[in-house]
């Protein structure tokens, strides 16, 4: 069986975590999470299974970190359309038109740097009202290399009309193939500008294992019109991927991106 990799978190922080067809390397300690916190997570439209306390907030859905600030905010959004695999966005988006800059902190390999450039190019090729460019430092979205056993990468959801400001990328995965790293960075940027997982209602579609709904709520996951109600195997916002996965935007991804931006 291919080694599988489990994606992202919100602080919103969206993050990627490895499964080798297994779950997170760091086992959750469910009994340390209060019922009050679990209720807040649920009210925001996210699943409450296997919640972990982590840097910046609470890790939910295997790869999304919710900050205390986010959990204490007022839930909002449109009614959720429950189906199989569709494109979903959060209630928070980036004001547009907008030129978004992206930087990388610290020393990284030439391949990882290329992957960042490739991810930016994937977005710019779509002619969106958001444009992306690489800067040497101080980007609107900064990619910071970290050491963690909880995820491959993490990023947040927009706030105040701005993209989430940081993507944390696990150093372990900076030596993977360029296509894989490009896919991960593009996925995290997707969270930064307001996208949730395509298979959020059943993570088993891309992650394997038993059926796992990230939270069938009326807030926090808004269906994007024009995207399919059937499985979408190649979407860049699927929750999990293999170590050799390459997911450039498919036709449904482009529909979702252009609907929002």
Torsion angle (degrees, nearest 10) of CA 240, 166, 156, 201? -10
Dist. CA 119–CA 142, nearest whole Å: 14
Note the pLDDT of residue 203: 64
In this predicted structure, the answer to whether residue 120 has a pLDDT above a threshold of 60 is yes
Dist. CA 146–CA 170, nearest whole Å: 5
Dist. CA 181–CA 90, nearest whole Å: 24
Closest listed residue to residue 179, CA positions, set 106, 114, 104, 134: 114
Per-residue pLDDT of 46-94, as tens digits, reads 777 778 887 888 877 666 778 888 888 765 543 223 233 445 445 578 9
Cβ-proximal residues to 188 (8 Å cutoff; 6+ apart), any chain: 8, 14, 15, 16, 153, 154, 155, 167, 169
Least confident of 66-70, 132-136, 195-199, 246-250: 195-199
Least confident of 35-39, 111-115, 178-182: 35-39
In this predicted structure, the answer to whether residue 229 has a pLDDT above a threshold of 80 is no
Report pTM.
0.78
Dist. CA 167–CA 139, nearest whole Å: 11
State the average pLDDT over residues 235-243. Answer: 87
Dist. CA 10–CA 188, nearest whole Å: 10
Q: Strand pairing of 57-60 and 64-66? A: antiparallel
State the average pLDDT over residues 113-121. Answer: 98
Check: CB of residue 138 under 8 Å from CB of residue 166: no
Tokens of 105: 């902190």
Check: CB of residue 229 under 8 Å from CB of residue 84: yes
In this predicted structure, the answer to whether residue 16 has a pLDDT above a threshold of 80 is no
Angle between helices 178-192 and 110-124 (to 10 degrees): 50
Least confident of 73-82, 100-109, 239-248: 73-82
* Residue numbers of the domain that contains 89: 4-260
Residue 153, domain CATH: 3.40.390.10
More confident residue, 126 or 56: 126
Dist. CA 171–CA 56, nearest whole Å: 19
How many domains would you assign to the chain? Answer: 1
């Amino acid at each position: 069986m291919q080694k599988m990799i489990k994606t992202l978190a919100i602080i919103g922080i969206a993050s990627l975590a490895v499964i080798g067809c297994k779950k997170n390397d760091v086992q959750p300690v469910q009994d340390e999470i209060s019922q009050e916190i679990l209720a807040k997570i649920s009210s925001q439209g996210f699943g409450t299974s296997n919640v972990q306390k982590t840097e910046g907030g609470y890790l939910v859905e295997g790869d999304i970190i919710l900050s205390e600030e986010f959990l204490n905010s007022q839930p909002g959004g449109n009614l959720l359309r429950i189906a199989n695999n569709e494109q979903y966005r959060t209630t928070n988006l980036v004001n547009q038109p907008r030129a978004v800059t992206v930087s990388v902190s610290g020393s990284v390999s030439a391949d990882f740097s290329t992957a960042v450039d490739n991810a930016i190019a994937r977005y710019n090729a779509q002619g969106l009202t958001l444009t992306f460019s690489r800067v040497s430092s101080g980007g609107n979205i900064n990619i910071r290399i970290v050491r963690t056993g909880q995820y491959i990468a993490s990023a947040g959801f927009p706030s105040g009309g701005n993209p989430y400001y940081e993507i944390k990328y696990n150093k372990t995965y900076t030596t993977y193939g360029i296509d894989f790293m490009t896919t991960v960075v593009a996925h995290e940027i997707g969270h930064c500008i307001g996208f949730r997982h395509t298979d959020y209602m059943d993570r088993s579609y891309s992650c394997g294992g038993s059926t796992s709904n990230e939270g069938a709520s009326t807030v926090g996951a808004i269906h994007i019109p024009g995207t399919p109600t059937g499985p979408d195997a190649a979407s860049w916002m699927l929750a999990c991927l293999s170590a050799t996965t390459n997911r450039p935007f498919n036709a449904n991804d482009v529909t979702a991106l252009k609907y929002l931006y």
